[in-house]
């Protein structure tokens, strides 16, 4: 189980009814307090709800880099089953304090956990990777920065790991120069494959790119599909063999001649109806690339459509949703949610998003309803068929900001993570 659900596309195929009317005051099944804010989305397996968190250090110099926590809650009652300090204390830098500051809108606990039903694995932006049994017993731990060198990222690294077919994958797509005292010149971008039972490396595959500076950086999750690993970042989409990491195909670029040097990539790729979406940064278009490619492709070669003629169809941060045969693309900068035909890119409906806060939670869907959340922890429920707002629920405090977790769906329940609480809605 992972943060985008069993189909890796944000959708639930369950037949059970999902909630419409709820709020953060009374209408919920249970509420559990969290020790700190994080963008990590809860993942649910059987009777357990797993989520990453942080206990912020009081020292402002270390804000966002306190204790890194792995948490497990009881799905039925919301009681805390176990809490483990998952952090090693590793902090990158040049030794002069230049690398200790984290970006104010993120922390090391931003990546989401994954589970294969045997264990749950937590990854943190400082490189800590830790596996626990479902009962909370530590199985193994390692720090990827210690093993492969300090990460070279302008922002706090937050890609989530992927468990697929008995192997654990993680992309480290970074710039090739030191930034803010972190990392070293000529640092490579690479994909890492590990044994989930031991944490030992099976292979490391260097993934080259002609992108420049921040445009080399990606925070996207590796998406498995039809015997391939699909990776977005460094101005290109690539497909890889899971056994070796060997590149099968490459398409690019959304950044012609790589002239934009400040286009870090946040949304993960999404597969549906024979195409894979890549959302270019800022207010650039969305690109639908044909699946089944081999070799290197550029421009219109291998491209099914792009949204260049529809400037409202774009996404800088949220990962799109594929549900019931349609793509749903949330634009955090244009403030709209659009339903899109996967084969033509035609917008079937577009809904202006309400309020003044940015909507950056990646949308999820089930039972004909779409759920997403803004920075103020307001959760909106939208009809997938008609694009109408069914409900707007205030889940956080009046002054909450930078709430970024996605709404998780499991069975007939929703799990909503705000800056302070974890909710179960039924």
Q: What is the pLDDT of residues 237-276, one digit of tens each?
A: 999 999 999 999 999 999 999 999 999 999 999 999 999 9
Domain positions in the chain: 16-38+361-403+405-426
Helix (H, G, I), strand (E, B) or coil at 262: coil
- pLDDT > 70: what percent of the chain? 94
Q: Give yes or no for residue 14 having a pLDDT over 70.
A: yes
Predicted pLDDT of residue 56: 66
pLDDT tens digits, 92-124: 754 433 344 455 667 899 999 999 999 999 999
Predicted pLDDT of residue 149: 95
Helix (H, G, I), strand (E, B) or coil at 191: strand
- Average pLDDT score, the chain: 93
pLDDT tens digits, 275-317: 999 999 999 999 999 999 999 999 999 999 999 999 999 999 9
Q: Identify any residues that bridge with 223 across adjacent strands, giving them in sequence order.
A: 230
Predicted pLDDT of residue 100: 40
Question: Quick one: CATH architecture of 16-38+361-403+405-426?
Answer: Beta Barrel (2.40)
Lowest mean pLDDT among 7-16, 88-97, 161-170: 88-97
Task: Scan for tokens 């934009």, then name that residue.
Answer: 260
> Comparing C-alpha atoms, which of 304, 309, 311, 305 is closest to residue 334?
311
For the entire predicted model, the pTM comes to: 0.95
Predicted pLDDT of residue 402: 87
**CB-hemisphere CA count at 13 Å for 271?**
21
Predicted pLDDT of residue 97: 38
Quick one: tokens of 118? 């045997």
In whole angstroms, how far apart are CA 391 and each of 1, 162, 368, 371, 403? 28, 33, 14, 10, 19
């Amino acid at each position: 189980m992972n943060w985008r659900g069993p189909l890796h596309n944000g959708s639930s195929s369950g037949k059970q009814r999902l909630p419409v009317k709820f709020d953060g005051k009374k209408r919920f099944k249970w509420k559990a307090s969290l020790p700190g804010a994080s963008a990590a989305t809860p993942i649910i397996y059987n009777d357990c709800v797993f989520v990453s968190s942080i206990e912020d250090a009081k020292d402002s110099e270390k804000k966002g880099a306190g204790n890194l926590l792995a948490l497990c809650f009881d799905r039925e009652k919301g009681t805390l089953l176990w809490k483990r300090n998952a952090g090693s204390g590793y902090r990158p830098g040049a030794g002069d304090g230049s690398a200790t500051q984290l970006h104010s809108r993120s922390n090391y606990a931003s990546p989401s956990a994954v589970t294969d039903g045997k264990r749950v694995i937590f990854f943190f932006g400082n490189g800590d990777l830790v596996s626990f049994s479902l009962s909370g017993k530590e199985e193994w731990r390692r720090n990827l920065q210690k093993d492969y060198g300090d990460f070279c990222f302008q922002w706090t690294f937050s890609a989530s790991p992927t468990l697929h077919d008995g192997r654990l994958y993680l992309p480290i797509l970074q710039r090739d120069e030191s930034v803010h005292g972190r990392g070293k010149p000529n640092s490579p971008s690479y994909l890492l494959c590990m044994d989930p039972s031991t944490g030992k490396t099976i292979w490391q595959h260097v993934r080259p790119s002609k992108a420049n500076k921040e445009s080399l950086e990606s925070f996207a999750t590796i998406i498995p599909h039809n015997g391939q690993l699909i990776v977005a970042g460094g101005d290109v989409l690539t497909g890889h063999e899971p056994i070796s990491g060997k590149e099968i195909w490459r398409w690019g670029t959304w950044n012609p001649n790589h002239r934009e040097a400040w286009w870090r990539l946040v949304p993960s790729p999404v597969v549906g109806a024979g195409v894979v979406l890549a959302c270019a940064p800022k207010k650039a278009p969305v690109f639908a690339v044909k699946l089944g490619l081999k070799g290197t492709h550029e421009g219109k070669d291998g491209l099914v459509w792009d949204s260049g003629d529809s400037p409202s169809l774009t996404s800088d941060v949220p990962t799109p949703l594929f549900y019931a045969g349609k793509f749903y693309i949330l634009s955090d900068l244009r403030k709209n949610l659009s339903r899109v035909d996967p084969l033509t890119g035609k917008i079937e409906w577009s809904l202006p998003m309400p309020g003044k806060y940015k909507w950056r939670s990646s949308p999820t869907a089930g039972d004909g309803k779409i759920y997403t959340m803004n920075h103020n922890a307001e959760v909106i429920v939208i009809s997938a068929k008609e694009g109408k707002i069914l409900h707007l629920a205030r889940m956080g405090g009046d002054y909450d900001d930078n709430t970024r977790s996605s709404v998780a769906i499991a069975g007939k329940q929703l799990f909503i993570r705000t800056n302070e609480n974890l909710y179960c809605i039924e």
